[in-house]
A and B are shown apart, each in its own frame.
Chain A
């Protein structure tokens, strides 16, 4: 069964439901709503996968604007106040010679969130259009999106550490900005979007076109 590609069928086609938690297969009967081994609720596919994914993605797109426009960190140095957005922080790092740090922050805070949003949007669209384009590669894209999301939190933790450390009375003080909240929300939303997308949907459509 495992070796011949032309004998492959999905569990769904065989009327079997896979428990997402413990992997036990169940027959698809109306009565069985819970896995009898581990108690998790059984779903053929993640419930409302596409609509939830789109909801999270759209919210992420919307909040990405204030995340970049509003300041994430405000430095008060000897009376002068300086507000930094994500991008101005990157250019400041570049100007002061720390090109490696600038690269890390740029990748983590700009490149990763945008890429993740684009990848997940593409996957959702491809499923909705019943595309059968390279399902294996699309699954790989999904795994990539899942893994890289958390690295966007770098900037938020940096702000947290700065706020906690730089509290020198009268000389320097750092405060977190509203942009940080928006950015944190974007990270959480894209993580939720990846978690609500069911990669098996990619293969459901690839099956039909064969």
Chain B
């Protein structure tokens, strides 16, 4: 009998286990290798949606306002994230520009947009077309979203540049900071079983 929902296998050590869906809240770990198996959260759907929408708003703010301003000898520059990518493109560093673009702009955006695409219809008890494909994409794109690393780099750059000139923090600096928390919160409140169970019911 294929597709038994009472059994599951650990994705890191392949141990055959009995799935314990009675766990109301908390984390279930594999007894052999301590991998995190199931996470049951209350209000998962609502929380994930809230964080996703928040994230999208913050993302828009972060990419339209400047991150930092640099004043030196009467001249000043400001930069938004996309201009960093464009500066690399101007130097013909296409691959580097592509890497930075994907990891700091495209991947976070796709993460939020696909989450919204899947979970908004779910809130109204409907399943969007191609939900399975899109939701698989959500997990695939997650390792490529490196916003928190970018945040650390901003701090490093600010300290480095502050020695040279006057640094003015921009609005995007703060919105990036909160965006990181929103992304992390959305990822942690996400319960994939919500989606898979809905798909199974509709199938």
Contacts and interface: CB of A to CB of B under 8 A. Distances in A.
Q: Do A and B come from one complex?
A: yes
Interface of A: 1-3, 5, 8-14, 16, 18, 20-27, 32, 36-40, 93, 96, 98, 101, 104-105, 108, 135-136, 139-140, 142-143, 146, 150-151, 153-158, 160-169, 171-172, 175-176, 180-181, 184-185, 188, 191, 195, 199-200, 202-204
Interface string B124-153: 000000001101100100010010011011
Contacts of B31: 2-3, 5
B152 A11 contact: no
Nearest to A13: B16
A8 B88 CA distance: 53
B50 interface: no
Contact of B88 (A37, A101, A163, A203): A163
Contact of B17 (A1, A38, A142, A157): A1
Greatest chain B CB density within 10 A among A5, A154, A171, A188 is at: A154
Contacts of B203: 36-37
B12 A157 contact: no
Contacts of B86: 164
A37 B196 CA distance: 7
Interface in B76-96: 77, 79, 83-88, 91, 93, 95-96
A88 B34 CA distance: 41
Given A166-B77, A172-B164, 4 more contacts: A96-B163, A160-B88, A160-B153, A202-B13
B157 to A, nearest CB: 4
Contacts of A26: 2-3
Given A36-B3, A37-B203, A157-B153, A139 B35 contact: yes
B199 interface: yes
| A-B pairs, 8 with minimum CB distance | A157-B153, A11-B9, A164-B84, A18-B9, A10-B14, A203-B13, A200-B14, A164-B79
A10 B143 contact: no
B104 interface: yes
A160 B100 contact: yes
Contact of A23 (B8, B87, B152): B8
Contact of B93 (A5, A20, A180): A180
Interface string B151-175: 0111011011101100000000000
Given A2-B18, A38-B199, A153 B103 contact: yes
Contacts of B139: 21
A63 B74 CA distance: 41
B24 interface: no
Interface stretch (B40-48, B55-63, B65-73, B179-187): B65-73
B18 to A, nearest CB: 5
A168 B74 CA distance: 10
Contacts of B103: 153
B22 interface: no
Interface string B19-41: 01000000000011111000000
B3 A154 contact: no
A20 B11 contact: yes
B85 A160 contact: yes
20 contacts: A2-B20, A3-B31, A22-B196, A27-B1, A38-B135, A38-B136, A39-B133, A40-B132, A40-B136, A101-B160, A157-B157, A158-B160, A164-B77, A165-B161, A166-B70, A181-B93, A184-B96, A199-B12, A203-B13, A203-B14
